[in-house]
């Protein structure tokens, strides 16, 4: 699947979820006329979007130089879950896990087999960051009218930062030309593990009812890992930019 196909697939999957989401009217009927009976303390959300990989470092540089790959081949759709716990009116502590996977076919740039056919392989790149973040809101997210009535604001912009660990798997399977013997070898090269990661982000919550809200977010993460012997223990870049939209529920 090429870069544009992955973008189209991500957009179509997001659009396909829209009919499943609660309407503002039905959600309000379940919670009262535009309010909740208490201030929410937990927010649980599902996210979907797209990750643009920075794709630097020796491992990915080598893959692009030797194979018919480019930086955008490592981009992927992204899906995740977030649990945010309210610490203060304008501060949440958020725990989230996200998943992205690219898989693309390629050929060796400068070599063919003895029949003049391309030497082909498949490259798979999986990233799963598991993080905790501090999420700061620029304004109060709602107002309490009494002990039993809480009315959410329509817009609540935020920014934040956090960190954790990013699990990854980088795999190349197929045929390769040995530069020394000139033999064509069928190989599966794979590296996986976990590495520290840090990120910053900004976004906005948009209430569609007292209980439910949209969240739009842009995030940039920094991370890198040392690969194993299959890739000569070189560094693999796990950094990248991610844009997501999601539905959340307040409790």
| Domain residue ranges in the chain | 3-105+125-173+185-250
Q: Which of 37-51, 138-152, 190-204 has the lowest mean pLDDT?
A: 138-152
Whether the pLDDT of residue 183 is over 90: the answer is no
Mean pLDDT of 135-149: 89
DSSP three-state, residue 194? strand
**Range with the poorest average pLDDT among 27-31, 130-134, 136-140, 160-164:** 27-31
The CA R_g of the chain, rounded to the nearest whole Å, is 22
Mean pLDDT for 117-138 is 97
- Residue 31 has a pLDDT of 39
Work out whether strand 118-137 and strand 142-146 pair parallel, antiparallel, or are unpaired.
unpaired
CB neighbour list of residue 226: distance below 8 Å, 6 or more residues apart:
233, 234, 235, 236
Does position 14 have pLDDT exceeding 80, yes or no? no
Q: Is the pLDDT of residue 20 over 70?
A: no
At 26 the pLDDT is: 40
Confidence (pLDDT) at 30: 38
Fold assignment, 3-105+125-173+185-250 = Porin (2.40.160)
> pLDDT averaged over the chain?
88
pLDDT of residue 3: 58
User: Residue 141: helix, strand or coil by DSSP?
Assistant: coil
pLDDT tier at 4, thresholds 50, 70, 90: low
pLDDT at residue 218 in the model: 98
Beta bridge partners of residue 131, listed in sequence order: 96, 164
The enclosing H or E element of 106 equals: strand 91-112
């Amino acid at each position: 699947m090429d870069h544009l196909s992955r973008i189209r697939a991500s957009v179509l999957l997001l659009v396909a979820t829209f009919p499943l989401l609660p309407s503002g009217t039905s959600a309000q009927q379940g919670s009262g006329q535009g309010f909740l009976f208490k201030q929410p303390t937990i927010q649980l959300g599902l996210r979907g979007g797209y990750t643009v990989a920075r794709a630097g470092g020796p491992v990915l540089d080598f893959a692009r130089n030797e194979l018919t790959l480019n930086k955008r081949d490592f981009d992927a759709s992204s899906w995740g879950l977030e649990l945010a716990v309210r610490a203060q009116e304008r501060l949440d502590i958020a725990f989230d896990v996200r998943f992205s996977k690219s898989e693309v076919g390629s050929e060796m740039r400068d070599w063919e087999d003895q029949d003049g056919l391309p030497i082909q392989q498949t490259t798979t790149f999986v990233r799963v960051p598991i993080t905790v973040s501090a999420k700061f809101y620029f304004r109060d997210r709602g107002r309490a009218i009494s002990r039993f009535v809480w009315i959410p604001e329509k817009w609540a912009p935020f920014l934040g930062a956090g960190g954790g660990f990013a699990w990854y798997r980088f795999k190349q399977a197929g045929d390769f030309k040995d530069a020394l013997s000139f033999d064509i070898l069928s190989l599966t090269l794979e590296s996986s593990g976990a590495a520290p990661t840090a990120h910053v982000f900004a976004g906005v919550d948009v209430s569609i009812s007292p209980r439910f809200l949209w969240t739009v977010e842009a995030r940039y993460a920094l991370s890198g890992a040392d690969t194993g012997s299959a890739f000569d223990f070189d560094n693999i870049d796990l950094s990248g930019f991610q844009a997501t939209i999601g539905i959340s529920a307040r409790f």
